[in-house]
Structure formats: C-alpha cells, structure tokens
Chains A and B, each alone.
Chain A
Amino acid sequence: MEIIQVLYKKMTTTIDTLEIKIAEAKQKLSQETRQAIDAVNWKQIILGLNNKFNSEQIEALETEVELLLCGITYPENFAEELETRLKISKVEVSSLINDMDKAIFKKIQVELENRINTKVVDTPVKTRTFVSDPKFLSLPKKVQEAISLSDWKENLYTILKKYNIAIDKIGEVEELTTKTILGSIHNDQYENNIKTITNLPQDKLSEIIPEINEKVFKNIKTAMMNSVEKEDIIPLPPYASQKVAQASLPNNTNTEYALPNKAINSIESKIPVTNSVEENVLPNIKDEDIYKEHGIEIIYNNVPKSTDTISSYVFKKPEIKLGDTKEKSSTIEAKKELYREEIPNSEKEYIESTIEIKNKIPKKQDEIKQIDIITNKLLNNTISPTIKTDYSLPKISSQNTDLISNNVSSAKPHDPYHEAI
C-alpha cells in the first residue's frame, strides 16, 4: 500500500514538473507559433489518427507531440521517443509520423505562414518615421518633423566625406549646422565658420557651401513646404462657418428641432410661439455651432426615456403645422392624442402632468404690467386728476372778493392769534 502511495506521489510530481517545463518552453515560442499551434486542434486529430492505440498510448503520444511542438524534444529524437513510449515498431513510428505530418504539422505550418504573411501585410510599408531630435526640441513640432525627414545629417555627412573632411571635423560641422538651423548662429557666419573648422581652400569652400545649401538647408525647406501641403483644407473662420451652418439649414420653416432636455421642454420647444420658426430655433443652433467651433461641447442634462420617444415621434410627423395660440393648444392636444397611441402609460402620465404644470404657471408679472399700462394709456386712465389750489391774497385778488361775498368762513381761515373783529 505504501509503495503504491509513493509511486503515485512520484508520478504526480513528475507530471507537475513536466507541465511547468512545457509552460516555460511555450513562453519562449513566438506569439505567431503559439497561435498557429493553438489554431490546430491537434489532440482531436491524434484521437482520430489510429484506432489501434489504447488510452495510455494516446496519452503518451499527446505528451510527446506537445513536447515536440514546444521545442523540448528535438525532431531527431522524436521517433526514438515514440518507439519507447508507445512501444511500437520503427515502421509503425514512421507511418505515424507521416500521418501526423500531413494532418497536424503541415496545418500548423500553413497557419504560421498565414500569420507571418498577415503580419507583414499589416505592417505598413516602411514609411519615413519622425524621430524627434533633442537638439531641436525648442522648435515647433512641424519644423522638427521637417528637419527629421530631410535627412540633413546623412546628406551633410556624404558631402563632407566627398571633400575628405576628417571625422572629428564632421562632428564640428554638424554642430555648426545644427546651430545655424536653430538660428543661434547667423547664416552669414556659416561660411566663415566652415572655413575655420575644415581649413579648406577658398575654391573648395565655394563648392561645398552651395552643395550644403542645396542638399541640407533647401531639403529642410522642401520638407517643411511638403508638410504644409499635406495639411487638410484650411479651416473656415468662425463667421464663415456660421454662414455655412445657416446655409446648410433646411428652408422648411416647419422643421422641428428637439432640444434634449426634459420631456415638456422638448414638446414646447417644437411649438413656435411666433410665426417665424427661425426666430426661435435658428439662434440656438448658431450658438451650438459657434461653441463647437471653439471646442466647447454643450453637455445637456440626462434626458428621460420619454424624450427619445417624443423626439423620434416628432421627427416622424413633420406635417403638424403650428400657428397662433389656438392652433398651438389644439396641436398640443393633437400631440397628446398621438402620444397616447405610442407612449406607454407611465410616460403618458409623466408628459400630461408636466404639461398641466406648465399650463398652470402664470405669465410673468412684467408682461401683465406692460399690457395694463398700454391699455390704460390708451384709455387716458393714466392721467392724474387735477386739483385746483387757491393761492390768491385777500383784498388784492378780485376773485377773492367774490369768494368772500359768497362764503366768508371758507375764504378766511381761522387764525388763532388774531381774534375776529
């Protein structure tokens, strides 16, 4: 009993070690190889290969193939391993390997080739990549790119090599050229500096300078011009794009634009209060466009589910014409009826309740006041009543004498400091 337990323990540890080894070996394989092997269900194929094998042999064959495919077993040892593990003859091994080659290995090869070829196709044709040079980091990115793509270093090296300039001098010339590109050394000083560095005679110098100018500086200029040409169409200024936005709007004044807000707002926003829809709707659209042009996106509140239904419905039914207030109310009723057909009960209740609430909201006090003042003015009700005052002096004014004669007490007020005579 103990022997069996020890053997079992030994077996399990061996299998575990083998699994670890296989896993490690698989990690070393390329991704394409792993994918190609996984793409072929080789274990299933092995089961269908030979019916003569018992379960132990099939298990051993699977292990051996796995070891072969992950590179642990070398192909030259594979036949021998099969012979030992499966306990079959050399002829049988040879036949088995041939079968496996046709059914498994060839398929894996095809899968791998497909993957490699796809990878080659996927990788874009070697395009010129922009490698940022730390020396030019202070320049704008477009300029950096143009400098990188101009191959100025290679060209400069070729020119200098042609004139047998020593390698250490080449480095100095390169540094000088870098500074000239950056603008820290003026162009006029370039020739003198080259002369100082290279000690070239004047005749050689008169040849090398135009060549550097042609193949280095002009190349950078050309690269920069090309990068500008590659750019998309120049964006329109805000005022021009606003015009375009207006022009792109449909002429149909009945077109309705749903505002993504609460359900009631979405309904009312589609009902033009004045006759002109453009007055109500167009400015909003303009604003949005202007914001978008400047990179500002308007984020609206979360829209209730019903809004979607309504907006989709409204876009489906553009024939509803909206006019004066009577029509407006009838349109609301019409819409309500139509909503009842399509919208679920809960949504209907929500919409109706919000419409009622909206209707109950009184008009603004300013508006009321404004109407009252106008009507009152027209009716002359705003004229304040005139009061006749009497500032006439007694014994001087002629009018006063009349008053005295008519009513003395009323004309002469009581004076407590003077007693009446």
Chain B
Amino acid sequence: MTEKLQQTLNIEILKLPKEKQDAINSFDWVKNVEEIGRKSYLNDDEVNDLQLETGLMLIGLVDFEIYVLNIEKNIVISRTESQNIANEIVEKVFTPIAKSIEIAIKNKMKSYEPKWDKRINFIISGGDYSSFI
C-alpha cells in the first residue's frame, strides 16, 4: 500500500465512531489483504487496488456487492475469483473487525440504554451492533 493511500484512509478512519476506529486500528488488515492477494497470484499493483477497495469498504463508502464488483472490475479477474477473494477477506478481515466492534458496543451497552430508533435499526439490520453507535 502506498503511503499516500494509507494516509488518506487513516484520515477517513478517524471520522468513524470510536468503536469502529479502535476495531480497525487494532487489526493489521493491510497485511492480511496483501497475503490474500499474493495467494491469489495478484501482482503489486493489483494488491494495492485490493487494499484500496477493502479500505473503502471498511470506512463505509461502498457496500459489499459493489466491493465484489470493484474487485472484479479494477483488478481485472473473473467473477468467481473476485468472489473467492472477497469471501476470504470477509472471513479474515471483515469478520474479526465486526466481532471486535460488537464486543466494544456490547460492553458500552451495559452502562446505557440505546435509543428506540437505534434499536429499530438494529432489528431491521438483522442484528448489526454497529446500529447502536
């Protein structure tokens, strides 16, 4: 990942709620994404693109469907390959971060009662704890 991209992403991450910031920063997602990319025989530029797309997904600028499409489109690989890479990133990057956020929110919820609208968002999302942030 280029330094410039890293800086840009760091600025965007700082705009996120504290729980999300902590969860993302506590995890070396850049390295994990690089390993996944290397395993799929992506070259340096492609790995860089993959890290950028993942960063955009983490800061909430793109949703998962667009993320998969972007991998396919920007890294120029087949649909199956992009889906496989995305699945691996979900397993090794997004899920651990989401778990970390969930734990942080659950701890926070012990001391305060969430508002009704956040509760509704939590219900509609099917149990996404980040709705309480």
Contacts and interface: CB of A to CB of B under 8 A. Distances in A.
Contact of A75 (B39, B120, B126, B127): B120
A223 interface: no
A86 to B, nearest CB: 17
Contacts of B124: 29, 33, 69, 71
Given A161-B38, A167-B43, A170-B41, A106 B119 contact: yes
A32 B126 contact: yes
A30 B39 contact: no
Contacts of B121: 75
A105 B120 contact: yes
Contacts, number: 54
A414 B33 CA distance: 132
B94 interface: no
B116 A112 contact: no
B117 interface: yes
Contacts of A71: 124
A159 to B, nearest CB: 13
A38 to B, nearest CB: 12
Q: Which of B116, B117, B122 has the most CB of A within 10 A?
A: B116
Specify the main secondary structure of chain B where it touches its partner.
Answer: helix
B123 interface: yes
Interface string B97-133: 0000000000000000000110111111011000000
Chain A interface residue count: which class? 20 to 34
B126 A109 contact: no
Given A167-B43, A171-B41, A101 B116 contact: yes
Contacts of B38: 157, 161, 167
Interface string A156-172: 01000100000100110
Nearest to A79: B117
Contacts of B43: 167
Contact of B123 (A76, A100, A109): A109
A395 to B, nearest CB: 123
Specify the main secondary structure of chain A where it touches its partner.
Answer: helix
Contacts of A75: 116-117, 120-121
Q: Which of A69, A75, A78 has the most CB of B within 10 A?
A: A75
Chain B interface residue count: which class? 10 to 19
Contact of A108 (B39, B41, B117, B123): B123
Nearest to A126: B91
B32 to A, nearest CB: 14
A194 interface: no
Interface in A159-209: 161, 167, 170-171
Contacts of B41: 167, 170-171
A36 B123 CA distance: 9
Contacts of A36: 123
A75 B121 CA distance: 8
Interface string A264-304: 00000000000000000000000000000000000000000
A33 B116 contact: no
Contacts of A100: 116
Contacts of A32: 126-127
Interface in A186-243: none
Interface of B: 38-39, 41, 43, 116-117, 119-124, 126-127
Closest 6 CB pairs of A and B: A30-B126, A75-B117, A101-B116, A116-B127, A71-B124, A75-B120
Given A36-B123, A154-B39, 19 more contacts: A32-B126, A33-B124, A33-B127, A69-B123, A69-B124, A75-B120, A75-B121, A78-B117, A78-B120, A97-B116, A98-B116, A100-B116, A105-B119, A106-B119, A108-B123, A112-B122, A157-B39, A161-B38, A167-B38
